[in-house]
Amino acid sequence: MAEIDELRATVELLAAQVRELSDQVEIMQLVAQYGPAVDSGSGAAAAALWSEDGTFDAVPQRRMRGRDEIAGMVHGDGHQSLIRNGCGHVLTVPHIVVDGDHATGRSYALNIRWDPGADRFWLARVSANTWRWARTPRDWRITERVNASLDGTAEHREMLAP
């Protein structure tokens, strides 16, 4: 093989590795934006993390379909009351499996609330999360998120199985 062809093959291999790494880091950073968006009451920013018709199931309370319903949850009385009283939606870095232009993942979400009387926070929820993401022409977006409390319900903990 000519020297230049050999080098080109090396570069192509490297480019594939860089693309894999970019996918991982971009999805980590996509998920890292959810908490800050909802805890600052930024409904449009939260909704924009999803694809146009992405879904978000907060089991069993709420099934959201599409960006408008996700923004509506953030702007709704329930969520607004939560953040006015002091609240943090703390998500962990997911385990991510990329397959071409789609990816799936598993992680945790903590819902932590302020108790002014006790001068401390309390853990309202610790939830299993499953994710589906899709590569769009611009970047990765969430196409499906399911959030279900780890309260001993067998189906919820099984969401975390590989």
Q: Which residues bind a copy of itself (CB under 8 A)?
A: 3-4, 7-8, 10-11, 14-15, 17-18, 21-22, 24-25, 28-29, 32-33, 35-37, 39-42, 45, 83-88, 90-96, 106-108, 110, 112, 114, 116, 120-126, 128, 149-153, 157-162
Report angle CA 68, 105, 39 to the nearest 5 degrees.
45
**Residues contacting residue 72 through CB under 8 Å, at least 6 positions apart:** 43, 64
CA gap 112, 89 in Å, rounded: 7
Q: Which is nearer to a copy of itself, 100 or 162 (CB)?
A: 162
Q: Taking a C-beta distance cutoff of 8 angstroms, is the pair 143, 154 a contact?
A: no
Q: Which one, 65 or 78, has the nearer CB to a copy of itself?
A: 78
Nearer to a copy of itself, 62 or 156 (CB): 156
Q: Smallest gap, in angstroms, from Cβ of residue 56 to a copy of itself?
A: 18
Please identify, using beta-carbon distances, which residue of 65 and 95 lies nearer to a copy of itself: 95
CA dihedral 31, 70, 66, 155 (to 10 degrees): 70
